[in-house]
Structures are given as structure tokens and as C-alpha cells.
Structure 1
């Protein structure tokens, strides 16, 4: 059992690392790729297709794992990601790359929920904070490795190796998963194909709003219409892809809401702090990137003991504290001006790391412990879906506000004022979370 646990931990950590690196490694290499493949007008779609596919499929993958087991669905995601990476590496034009990136994004969507889901199956609550800290470390490592690997491959080999490198890593990831003897017993049921299709259509149209300049109203209407149809269809389906029964638990429902609003508010800060430091204060590319390490420091500091804190204090008080820290960082961002430099922003990043470290770790554990074992997969992955949607929408709103000002600093003030106002709503929503303690809920 111990060897199986070690092997599956290697598998899920490698999966998280390769998927997280691939979500950002193209940031530094895409200009070179566009020069070679052409169609600069399609530049943004190489990112958008990956983001849309991975966001849509994460909750679907979680639900399928409840029905058919974690190992099968996770293994399928690894193979799909490997296949998509191979195709991206051999793409000969931009259209092909965009299509193949969507396949890769599908694989990522099937992979990304499982580190948290499988960790929830394997480890008790008091140890799960340490595991979440390990996952956070992988995200931090990917943020450092992605630009370094991208630059290295472009200079010494070819941009195609940013995709080829995934193949041996995915192979190792799959092989270490094979010996794993899954303890979870799936609850077999028919697949809700129509529900999955309606869900995919609604979220696709809603996410398209964040990446297109035209037909925004049309996409909004179509997204909302498909979402309404999806809701009524799922309520009558015997085995829905998203069982709305989990929302009857008010604690779970408000954790979802709070996660969405919190990421909508200020999770995009890390995308714009380096911009401020470079353009306004004249800080170097390296130091502006180092400032973001504050997030990892704060996140890991609270992730490790979070599991024990939940058993002692319950979910409500920890989530209120997390949102209070987020609110404080929002105030500091509103006060940001030209005289502030590295250390002021570094402190903000640490506070946000503490905030999101609590919100993320406590939220994931709550999503797993406050539902039945056959709903753990969909609950965990739906929480991640809420965060992904909040991040995608929030970053887009901030980007729009950045260009709305008469100067760079004016635009930065607008986007952080928005973040602060949204953090107020996140703070308020935390008080609706009921005070259920995990000790009473652990199965």
C-alpha cells in the first residue's frame, strides 16, 4: 500500500508539473512560433483554446471519476495530453497548432483535478495541508521553469521541444500510475452525454466573451441560453454530469461562490504587478518576477498547517480570515502609486499568498469532506472550475481596465480599484458559510 501511495504521488505531481508548465511556457515562445507559422491575427487563440478546453473538461473529468474510478479517467487524460503535445510539436501552420492545443487542453482538463481528488482519497484531513503545499510548490516551480525552459529550447533546439519534452514526462507519469491499486469504489452509471455537451457549449460561449472583440452580446445570450437548458436537463437526469444535490449543502455552495468571487477579484494581480514594476518603477524583468515569489511564500506558510486548523476551528472562521487578508491586500493595491517599489508589492504578494493559500486549501478540503464519497470528484473539480472561471473573467476585466486609463498608472489604478471592490463582495460572501467542522463530517 505504501509503495502504491508513493508511486501515485509521483504520477500526480508530475502531471501537475507538466500541465502547469505547459499553460505558461508559450508566453515566452509564442512570438517566435507565430513568426515561423504565420497568421499573427490568430495569436491569442493558441492560448484561448487550451484555456477553454481545460476549464470545461475539469468538472466533467471529476464527475466521470466518481462514476468509473480515478485511475481510468486520470490515465486517459495523461495519454490525451501526450498525444496533443506530439501533435503540437509537428504542427505546420497556426490553424493546426490551435486545433492541437485544444486537444492538449482537453488532456490537461482531464489531468488537473486529480492531484487534489486522489490526495483526498489517500490522506486524512490533518495531512492533506502538507500535500496541498507540495502541489503549491509545483505551481511555483513551474512559474520559474516555464520561461527558462522556453528560452533554452528556442535557443538550443527548437520551439517544438516545448511540446516534445512532455512526451517522456507523460510516459513516466502513466507508468507510475499503472501499479496503483485504487481504494475508491466507483458508482457505475450511464454517462450523461447530452448534459456534458450542453455544459461544454454554455461554458465555451461564456469564455469566448473573454477572448473576442466582436459578437460579445450574441455569445453572452447563447452561453446563458445553453446554461439554462443544461440546468433543467440535469435536474431530471438520473445520473447528471453535475449533480445539483451537492449545492443543497449550504457550506459547499457558499465555498463555491466565495472561490469564484475571490479569484474574480484579485487572483489576476500576479499578471499585472510585474507590468507595474517594469513600466512605472523601471524595475528589471528579473526583479519584477521575483516579487511574485511572495505569493508562493505566503501560500505554503498556511497550506501545511491548514488541515489541522480545520479540525480545530472549522471552515467558516478560516475562510473569513482568508477573505480578510484578501481585502487588506485590495486596500494596499488601491493605495499603490509611483513611489512604491519592490518591497511594497512583495508584501502585498505575501498577503495575497496567505489569503489564497487559506482559501484554496480549506476550500479543497471542504469540497471533499462535506460531500459523499461518490460526489468527491465532481465537488473538488467543480471548485477548481469556479476558480478557473473567476480567474479567466477577472484577468480579462483587469486587462480591459488597464487600457481604459489616460496613462499607465491611471489604468493600473482602475484595475486594482475593481479588484478591491470585488474583494469586498468576496469578504461578505464568506460570512454566509456555515460553521461546520470537519471533525464531524469526515467519513
Structure 2
């Protein structure tokens, strides 16, 4: 097992608190922005017109944030964490202001893309900076804190969205980001970076090829026409990216990382786990609402996932020191299969608590898989690769989730019966869990 990098940031305990508040606020605002827009976008589209661009208001944010994340991680390895993270906060702040002043759906789609770029830059850094600040055994607690922010955003965002629409104006869902971003940016000044970046030129052309290729592939999850054309073009561009990057002196995504088999298989396992079940959180509230539960109660069911996730994230760092990465990831995948089996048994009349329990087990599974894989991604590479390694881990989960949600949505749309559609959806998820479980055995000797 790799030892803690000697270049880790050593910051006094009193200085760590404002840094942690800074990165937690950034994570909260970036995660909350997607959910709060889900609540209010119908109202926004009705006021601004061009309802045909409704889906693109989400797509532009999702595509840009997904594409930018690994690029941001790599650039932070070259130029330092603080500068790049601070730039992400400012970009997100600028995008939020622009969205708040948008006067047409075209403008909103463009400004949401700016927001997405900022979010893509910000999102990898909580884990990257935590990896710099804390020893392995303490990082599980920090990952649990990040998970709590995701859970809080899932509950808080719809409530804020409904409040602003009813009592103020939808533009405040974007303006609310301004004070949060400013506080996060100011508190970041306490981050005294000791890590010495490995100075090198940024592979701008490689970053551009990567962005185009991933964007084309993500478009296949959004567009209804020429889907295969986008897919084929995306695969072709990504193959060109591979050929270009493998001979580059300072690649934007160092392909040599994937020669590290435990690292590579962690990414495969994360991808398969997210493809199979992570998207269920987008559809389970719909199932419970059909069963007669309110919007609020159906959303509370998702807290089960947060509870399970936090329960294993806190001790995960210490477990790594005792048991290693492989055994824990296999255990997480066993829990994932159990969660898939529970959801497969979810039928009409199963009730709220059955669904809640399934989400608790799923939270336990993803808590182990994500936390252990994130820490492993940082510890199994050289210090100057920690940023891009952490970003690739996030990228694997984002791509897997995007594909999984698309497949699940297609299954529901093409099944005439509501409950039969969910049976097929959960069957797909269970089969995916078995594939993820099989891949976990490839993570050996760590």
C-alpha cells in the first residue's frame, strides 16, 4: 500500500477549519444548483419562452461540469490547488449572476454552461484538498461530511426553489449563490499550500479534443435524433485523443495512470456501479409518489442513502489501514448487489420503509465504494498526479450516472405499464450490480 505523500500540506488545526468551510460551501452550492433548477425550471421556461430548450438548460450545465472536472484536476497538479479552485469559485459566481439576469432561454442555456464550467472546476477539489490536508485514516470522516452536504442539498434545494418562486422571483435561485461563493472564496485565503506543483505547459489541444469527444458522447444521452451519429463521432474523437495523448510530453489526462491496474479497475468498478444503480435516486421518488406519498416524503426516502453513506464513510479511512482497498471494495459491491435485490423486490404496496431500507443499503454500498476508491486514487499515484487521479474518479462516477439515468429513463418511457416499467428498470440495475461485483475482484493486492 502506498504511504502518505511527503508533500502533503501541513496546516495548523486552527487554519484547517476555514479551509474546510470554504470547500464544503463550494460543494454545497454546486450540488444544490442542479436540484434547485429541477424545481423551478418549468416556471422559468414558461416566463422566458422557447420551451424546446428546456432540456438544454440542464444539459449545458451537466456536459460542461462533467468535461471540465478531469481537466481541472490535471491543471491543479501543474499550477497548484488554491489558484485553480479559486478560479472555479469565481467562474461559478459569474455564471450565477449571468443566469439571474437572463432574458431568454438561449441566454440561460449559455450562462448555465458558464456555471457548469465553474462547477466542473470546483467539484474535484473538496476531495483533492482533503487529500492534501488529512492523513488516510481521517479522510473517511471528511468524505462523510461531503456526503452530508449532498444530502442537505437534496432536501434544501427543492424547498428554497419553491420558496423563491412563490414569495420572491425565480432569479433568486441563482442570486443566492453570490454570498455563498464570496464567503467560500474569502475563507480559501487560509489555505497555505505546501505542495509544490510540477510546472509544465498545459496541453490545451489535448483538453479541447477531450472536451469535444466527451461532449459528443454525453449528447447521446440527451438528443432524440442522430443519437448513433453523435455516439460514433464521440468514439472516433476519443480514439484520436488517445493516439494524441499517449505520445505527449505533458498530457492533460496521463494515460500512464491506467497502467496501474488497481487504479484502473477502481475506475471500472465505480463506472459500473454508477451505471447500474446510482440513477435510482432520480426515479424512486416518482415510484413513491405513484403510491400516494407526498413530494416531501418521497424525497425523504433518499435520505436513507445519505445515512448509509455517512455510516461507513466515517470509519472507512481506518478500515483501509486495517484491511486494504480490495476487501473493502468487494464488501461494498456485495452490499450493492443486496441493494439491487431489495429494489428488484420493490412492488406496488411495498411501502415507504421498504424503499427507505433499500436506499440505506445502497448508501452503505456507495459509501464504501466511493470513499475507498477516492482515497485509493490518491494513494496509488505519485503526489504530482493526485489532482488528476481524484478528478478521474469523479469523472468515472459522473459518466456512469449519466448513462445509467438515460437507460433507466428509456426503460420507463418504452414500457406501457408504470409498475412493469419499474420492474424492468430494477432488473437492469440488478444485472448491472452483478457486473460491478465481478469487476471488484480485479482490484488485487492493495
Partner of 1:85: 96
Partner of 2:124: 113
Partner of residue 131, structure 1: 142
SS where residue 236 of structure 1 aligns? coil
The separation in 1 between residues aligned to 2:303 and 2:118, in whole angstroms, is 28
Aligned to 1:416: 426
Aligned equivalent of 2:223: 212
Tell me, yes or no, if the aligned pair for 2:206 and 2:244 is still in contact at 8 Å. Answer: yes
| Mapped partners of 2:196, 2:131: distance in 1 | 14
**Counterpart for residue 107 of structure 2:** 96
On the 8 A contact 2:77/2:387 being kept in 1, the answer is yes
CA positional deviation for 1:127? 0.5
**1:425 equivalent in alignment to 2:430:** no
Cα distance in 1 for partners of 2:260, 2:231 equals 29
TM-aligned CA deviation for residue 4 of structure 1:
2.7
Q: After superposition, give the CA deviation of every residue in 1:324-376 in whole Å (9 maximum; x if it has no partner).
A: 11111111222221131111111100000000000010011000011000000
- 1:208-247 matches, within 5 Å, as 208-247=219-258
Q: Does 1:68 align with 2:52?
A: no
**2:428 corresponds to 1:399:** no
CA distance in 2 between partners of 1:252 and 1:42 (Å): 39
- The aligned counterpart of 2:3 is none
Return the TM-score normalized by structure 1.
0.97
Alignment of 1:242-391 (within 5 A): 242-279=253-290, 281-391=291-401
Instruction: Please report how far the alpha carbon of residue 2 of structure 1 lies from its aligned counterpart in structure 2 after TM superposition.
Output: 2.8
Please name the residue that 1:10 is paired with.
21
* Deviation of the 1:221 alpha carbon: 1.1
* Deviations 1:13-60 (CA, angstroms, capped at 9, x unpaired): 110011011021011101110110001111000000000000000000
Is the CA contact 2:39–2:162 (under 8 Å) kept in the aligned structure 1?
yes
Deviation at 1:153, TM superposition (A): 1.1
Match of 1:440 in 2: none
Secondary structure of the residue aligned to 1:25 is helix
Residue from 39, 44, 47 that aligns with 1:33: 44
Alignment match, 2:6 = none
**Distance between the aligned counterparts of 1:188 and 1:253, measured in 2?**
25
Give the unaligned 5+ runs of structure 2.
1-11
> 1:284, CA displacement in angstroms?
1.9
TM-score w.r.t. structure 2 length?
Answer: 0.97
1:242 and 1:255 mapped to 2: Cα distance?
17
User: In structure 1, which of residues 158, 169, 173 is the aligned counterpart of residue 184 of structure 2?
Assistant: 173
Alignment check: 8 A CA contact 1:317 1:435 kept: no
Structure 2: distance between partners of 1:62 and 1:3: 26
Displacement, 1:266? 0.1
1:51 paired with 2:62, answer yes
What's the offset of the Cα at 1:109? 0.3
Task: Tell me which stretches of 4 or more aligned residues in structure 1 moved more than 2 Å.
Answer: 1-4
- Give the counterpart of 1:159 among 159, 167, 170: 170
Alignment coverage as a number of residue pairs: 435
